[in-house]
A and B are shown apart, each in its own frame.
Chain A
Amino acid sequence: EAQVTQNPRYLITVTGKKLTVTCSQNMNHEYMSWYRQDPGLGLRQIYYSMNVEVTDKGDVPEGYKVSRKEKRNFPLILESPSPNQTSLYFCASSSTQWLHGYTFGSGTRLTVV
């Protein structure tokens, strides 16, 4: 089944403790992206990647890092999480031919206390 897999689904952590949210897709998509979703603010893009070793900032990159060492994986790293990063996070992928639309993961609910 074609899918984007995020882990973990739920995460509670403390301020300052580094964490990684993983994202993997099995569709051989070149384009991958991370979003956060907050009430009243909609989906906001954090980072995206056009292909292996090619990443770029989205609208809200501060406090986040990403890497794209393999085509299928695009982890999101919070090196020193803060409470304002409490949010619902989504990973998504697409081919760069843009023919089959955007596929989303199931989301990661992160709480930073």
Chain B
Amino acid sequence: KQEVTQIPAALSVPEGENLVLNCSFTDSAIYNLQWFRQDPGKGLTSLLLIQSSQREQTSGRLNASLDKSSGRSTLYIAASQPGDSATYLCAVKSAGNQFYFGTGTSLTVIP
């Protein structure tokens, strides 16, 4: 069974800093990996989707990379802002009928 891990569970950075969030998975046979943002008590908003054949995706200040062979993905946030404060989740679609989620990294950007 696929296992997805996100470390650290919580991260606090000063505004303007560049940061990296990590996601690791145990089975490299994946269809895709998706990064989500969740504000407290709210739904999951898709940030970036990386297909298994891709190495990275970019959207604005966000860049996600994928290394299937090592079972790792990173989400890079440039020039962090207080509005980036949220929980960030990664999800992996493997063979089979389920998506596998990490438990998230709670990010706080301090003004």
Contacts and interface: CB of A to CB of B under 8 A. Distances in A.
Interface residues of B, number: 22
Contacts of A109: 41
A92 B89 CA distance: 15
Interface in A69-113: 88, 90, 92, 94, 98-107, 109
B33 to A, nearest CB: 9
A106 B51 contact: no
A58 B44 contact: no
Given A98-B31, A109-B41, A103 B46 contact: yes
B42 interface: yes
**Interface SS, A side:** strand
Interface residues of A, number: 24
B91 A102 contact: yes
Contacts, number: 50
A9 to B, nearest CB: 10
A42 B101 contact: yes
Interface stretch (A15-23, A43-51, A60-68): A43-51
Interface string A15-36: 0000000000000000101000
A51 to B, nearest CB: 11
Interface stretch (B21-29, B78-86, B92-100): B92-100
A107 B34 contact: no
B46 A102 contact: yes
B111 interface: no
Contact of A102 (B34, B41, B103): B34
Summarize B's interface: helix, strand, loop or mixed: strand
B97 A42 contact: no
A109 B42 CA distance: 9
B30 to A, nearest CB: 10
B46 A88 contact: no
Contact of B103 (A42, A45, A107): A42
A107 B39 CA distance: 12
A59 to B, nearest CB: 8
Interface of A: 31, 33, 42-43, 45, 48, 50, 56, 58, 88, 90, 92, 94, 98-107, 109
